[in-house]
Amino acid sequence: MIGVLLLAAGVNHLCVALTKCSRSLSELSLSRTGLGARGLARIMETLQSLPNIYATLRRLDLSFNSVKGDDIAVSVCTTAHLSSI
């Protein structure tokens, strides 16, 4: 499956949609979306501000994106409860 590029506007739309979600979220796949460090930081900031989603998120797929090891390492430190990133 080919991912859809998630540009700045797409990241903002995703973050807004997440804030409107009243249910839990166990998996979030952002694979092959062209996600970079800024987009990842914005998404992580949003997830951390939403306890109902953040506490239930177990898998975050960031594979095949522009984020580098250091960017992901920061996210892993802030999402230690995830079983897979």
Phi, psi dihedrals of residue 28, rounded to the nearest 5°: -135, 115
Eight-class DSSP state of 5: P
Region 13-33: what's the mean pLDDT?
Answer: 91
| CA nearest neighbour of 74 among 50, 49, 38 | 38
Say how many Å lie between the first and final Cα of the chain, rounded: 19
Which among 65, 71, 1 is positioned nearest to 34, based on CA atoms?
Answer: 65
Specify the pLDDT at position 54. 87
Residue 69's pLDDT band (cuts 50, 70, 90)? low
Global pTM reads 0.75
What are the sequence ranges of the domains in the chain? Answer: 8-78
